Chain A
C-alpha cells in the first residue's frame, strides 16, 4: 500500500522522458529482440561510463534533465539520476565472491571439464552484461512528495514511494564499495512486514548517499509538518558533498568527513542538518568483544566452513582418475602408522589444535568484533539518531527520534562480570531483535547509561523486587524439567542420559536464582522500567505514553501465590514488555500509577478497601446480554489505593 509498482510495456511518452543514450532500441521491443536491445544498451552504457570517468566523479550522475511524468518535482535535485558508473566495476567484483571456490579450483587445475569452464565464463560474462544493463536502465528521482525508482528496459518497473511513508534510510558499503567510494542506500517504507525493504539503490557515490539520506528524511519531516522550515536542505549538503567527492577513494573519505565535521568543528553555515556527536568508541571498548558469546564462537563457525570447503575439494579430487587408488594408499599408510605410535600422535595433534582454538577464542572474538564495530559512532541530527560502524563494511543507520519509544539495556552473565552493558533502541517499525536498533556496543555501564541519559533521557526510578514466590517459580522452572528427566532416565537405567540431566538440573539452581534476582519493575515521573532474564538480561525503559495497553496473565499455578505476568504492550520493539511473576495487587497499583486514566475506572475500591485479590475483576456479567446497560460503577478489582 505504500509503494506502488507498475510494470508496463515501455510506453512512448516515458521513453521520451528517460535520458537514455541514443543507441536505445525503439519502444515496444519484442522479447525476441532482446539480444539487440542488450547490445544497444551496452554500447550506450560504455559511452556513459567514459563520460563519467572524464568528468572525474559522481557529480556527473545527476546530469539527466529534470523531467518526470509527475511534473510536480521540486527544483532542487529533481532530475532523474543514475547509479554511479563505478557500479559497473563494483557489481561484478561483488558477485565474483560467489565464484571464488570454482575459480580457485580452476587455478589449481582441479577441474578440467570444458563444460564447467565454459559455463563459468558464460556466467561471468552474463554478470558483466547484466551489470551494464542494470546501470543503463536504472533511474531514480526524489520529488517533493515521493521517491521514484525505475528500472528495466523491455519490461519496465517503476516504483513510487511516498516520502511521508519512508521509515528509515540506511547506508551500507562493503570493502569493494569503499574502494570505489560507493555506498548502497536502503530505503524502508511503512509496509506490513517488518524490515521490508522497499527501495534499494545499489550503488551510488558515498557523498550522494549521504545527501539522499538527508534529503529524504528532511523532506519527509517537512511533509509531516514536523520540521519548521522547508528550507532547501537538499541543496546544501549536496554542495558540501560535491567538492569532496572528486574521485575514487577520496569520495568515500569526503562522505565520511562531511557529517563528522558538522559536529566537531564549527558547522558550515550552509549545512542545515546540524549533527552532534554523542559517542565515539574508545579503543578499549573493543576488548568487550571477548565477552560476547556470539563472537567467541566465530572460530568454530570458521572452522566448520573450512572443513566444509576442504571436504568439497577432496570430493572434487576424488573424482579424478587415480585419486581413489591414492586415497587407499594414504589410508593403508595411515593404518600402518596407527599400528605403531601414530594414533596417540594424531590424537595429540587434534587435541592441540582444539586447545589452540580455545585459547585463541578471545583473540578471534576481539578481532571479529573490532571489524564489525570499528569506529562506532552515535550522532544526532535534527530529528534522528545516526549510528555508524564497521571496518570493511561501513554501516550507517538513521533512527528517527519520533519513533523511539524507549531503550533497552542488555547484558549477559559474562558481560555482567565486567559490568558491561549494551544499549538498544525500542522503536516502532523495528522488531525486537533487529541489529539496526543497536545504539551502543557493549561498554561500561556508567558510560552507557550516561549516553542513554543524554540522548534519550535516563531512567531514575528504582526497580521493585518481585515476591519470594517468584523465586520458587524460577527455580522450579529451571530445575524441575531436568531433574525429572534425570529421575526418569535413572529409573529406566539409562545412566548415560541421567548424569548430564542431573548436571543440568544442578546448573539450573544458580540460573533460577539469577533469573529471580533480575526480575524487577519500577517507574519514575516519565518512564517505566521492566527487567528480566539471566542469560540475556534485558532492562527495558519505556516512555510512559508509549504504553498502549496492559495485560495481566495468570496461570493456574500462579493463582495460589497471587502472582501474575504483567505485560505493558507497546507498539514498538518486541511489542510487549513483561514483568514476570509480579505480585498481582502490587502490579495493578503499578499500572494504575503509570496510566491512571486507563486503570482507575476498573478499580473496585479506589479508597483502598481491601477486597481480596481473588475477587478482583468481577465485572457484572454482561456478555451475551445486549439489553443490559453499562452500570455506572465498574465493579472491578482490588485494593489499590495508589
Chain B
C-alpha cells in the first residue's frame, strides 16, 4: 500500500514539475533566466528517478521496521525508516482512539489507528492495520481505556 501511495505522490509531483518546466518554456517570460528554460526538463526527470528509487526501497524498509504490539496495559509502536521511533502509550492514559481509512487504504482493506493521549507528544499512530482487526482493536482499547481510566492526564 505504501508503494502505491508513494507511486501516486511521486507521479503527481513529477507531473507538477513537468508542467512547470513546460510552462516556463512555453510562456517565455523574460524574467526567467535562460538556463532555467533550457534545463527545465532535467528537474522532473531527476525527481522521477529519485521517486522510483524511493518507491522501491522505502516501503520495504518501513514494512520491515514498523512493528506494533498491544499488551494488557501498554501500546507499543516502532516506526521510521531512517530515524527510528519507539513509543509506549499506557492504555489507562488513552483519551481517544481514532480509526480512519483513506481511499487507498480501503482498496487494500487496511486502516490506520490513531491513539491519542492528553499530550500532543504522546499520540501514537499505527498505519496499515488490517481493517477488521483495526476495528476490533479500537473497540477493545476504548473499552479497556474506559475501565482503567483514572484522570488520564
Footprint of B on A, CB under 8 Å?
A: 403, 405, 428, 546, 548-556, 558-559, 564, 567, 569-572, 574-576, 591, 595, 597-599, 601-602, 617, 619, 621-626, 630, 634, 636
Contacts and interface: CB of A to CB of B under 8 A. Distances in A.
Instruction: Specify which of A548, A554, A630 lies most central, judged by the most chain B CB atoms within 10 Å of its CB.
Output: A548
Given A548-B118, A549-B88, A623-B66, A634 B71 contact: yes
A576 B87 CA distance: 13
Interface string B27-39: 0000000000000
A571 B68 contact: no
B68 A622 contact: yes
Nearest to B110: A624
Instruction: Specify which of A598, A599, A636 lies most central, judged by the most chain B CB atoms within 10 Å of its CB.
Output: A598
B83 A556 contact: yes
B152 interface: yes
A597 B85 CA distance: 20
Given A548-B122, A617-B78, A619-B78, A553 B69 contact: no
A549 B69 contact: no
Interface in B15-74: 63, 66-71, 73-74
Interface stretch (B4-12, B96-104, B128-136): B128-136
Given A428-B153, A549-B89, A549-B117, 14 more contacts: A548-B93, A548-B153, A549-B93, A550-B88, A551-B85, A555-B82, A569-B117, A571-B118, A571-B122, A601-B74, A602-B88, A622-B69, A626-B132, A634-B69
B152 A571 contact: yes
Contacts of B88: 549-551, 591, 598-599, 602
B83 A555 contact: yes
Given A549-B87, A567-B121, A630 B71 contact: yes
Interface of B: 63, 66-71, 73-74, 76, 78, 80, 82-90, 93, 110, 117-122, 124, 128-130, 132-133, 152-153
B121 A624 contact: no
A626 B130 contact: yes
B152 to A, nearest CB: 7
Given A550-B87, A617-B86, A569 B69 contact: no
Chain A to chain B: the 9 pairs with minimum beta-carbon distance, closest first = A571-B118, A569-B122, A576-B121, A571-B153, A548-B93, A549-B122, A626-B133, A555-B83, A575-B119
Contacts of B153: 403, 405, 428, 546, 548, 571-572
Nearest to B89: A549
A575 B74 contact: no
A624 B90 contact: no
Nearest to A588: B86
B84 A553 contact: yes
A65 B132 CA distance: 60
Instruction: Specify which of B71, B88, B119 lies most central, judged by the most chain A CB atoms within 10 Å of its CB.
Output: B119
22 contacts: A548-B89, A548-B93, A548-B122, A549-B87, A550-B86, A551-B87, A553-B85, A554-B84, A558-B83, A569-B117, A569-B119, A571-B118, A576-B122, A601-B73, A602-B69, A619-B76, A621-B67, A622-B69, A623-B66, A623-B68, A624-B128, A630-B71
Given A569-B117, A571-B153, A619-B78, A630 B83 contact: no
